[in-house]
């Protein structure tokens, strides 16, 4: 039994789609990045890689590689899930928190959980996604950025 921790943050800017956990959310801003900048998917990906001591998202999917320009981060998450399995691990559970001032994410949480579960071939009951504001503090509080943190548990040979 091993745990992993992932963190990510991106700027929120006009003229970009807001995609969290593979779910497009109607909003006047979106996350800026080389890929689709899905901050939740990136935190989950890093947590999985960390639990298995397999490096980090940047080493597997470098943002200097044109192949990952505007990449669908859920595809990258699925590839990471395959890598996790190839190394003999299975995913126990995932618990993630998104920190964003607006919009309210509660209508989209179920879909995010299902998307992550589907990408990894696990049950949505083993995936938790929570959302909170930053209470008006800093760049996140000003609506200019968002972050996500994720904890995962993986098992090797069922233990």
Q: In the bound complex, what is the minimum distance in angstroms from residue 146's beta carbon to Mg ion?
A: 10
How far is residue 26's CA from residue 28's CA, in Å, rounded to a whole number? 7
Q: In the bound complex, what is the minimum distance in angstroms from residue 39's beta carbon to Mg ion?
A: 6
How far is residue 123's CA from residue 152's CA, in Å, rounded to a whole number? 14
Contact with Mg ion (CB under 5 A) among 8, 36, 46, 101: 8
How far is residue 44's CA from residue 95's CA, in Å, rounded to a whole number? 9
Read off the DSSP letter of residue 32.
Answer: -
Residue 100, classed as helix, strand or coil, is coil
| CB contact at 8 A, 19 and 38 | yes
How far apart, in Å, are the Cα atoms of 144 and each of 22, 47, 83? 20, 24, 34
> Which positions from 105 to 134 touch Mg ion by CB under 5 A, shown as an x/- string?
------------------------------
Q: In the bound complex, what is the minimum distance in angstroms from residue 79's beta carbon to Mg ion?
A: 15
Residue 38 in the binding site for Mg ion (CB under 5 A)? no
Q: Which is nearer to Mg ion, 9 or 133 (CB)?
A: 9
Q: Which is nearer to Mg ion, 42 or 113 (CB)?
A: 42
Contact with Mg ion (CB under 5 A) among 18, 30, 31, 42: 42
Q: Which is nearer to Mg ion, 135 or 144 (CB)?
A: 144
């Amino acid at each position: 039994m091993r745990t992993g921790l992932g963190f990510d943050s991106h700027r929120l800017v006009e003229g970009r789609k807001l995609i969290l956990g593979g779910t497009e959310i109607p909003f006047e801003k979106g996350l800026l990045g080389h890929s689709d900048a899905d901050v939740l998917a990136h935190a989950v990906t890093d947590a999985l890689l960390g639990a298995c001591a397999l490096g980090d998202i940047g080493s597997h999917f470098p943002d200097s590689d044109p192949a990952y320009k505007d990449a669908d981060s859920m595809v990258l998450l699925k590839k990471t899930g395959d890598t996790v399995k190839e190394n003999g691990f299975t995913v126990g559970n995932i618990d993630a928190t998104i920190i964003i001032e607006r919009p309210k994410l509660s209508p989209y949480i179920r879909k995010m959980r299902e998307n992550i579960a589907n990408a990894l071939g696990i049950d949505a009951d083993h995936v938790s996604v929570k959302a909170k504001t930053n209470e008006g503090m800093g760049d996140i509080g000003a609506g200019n950025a968002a972050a996500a943190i994720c904890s995962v548990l993986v098992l090797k040979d069922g233990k």
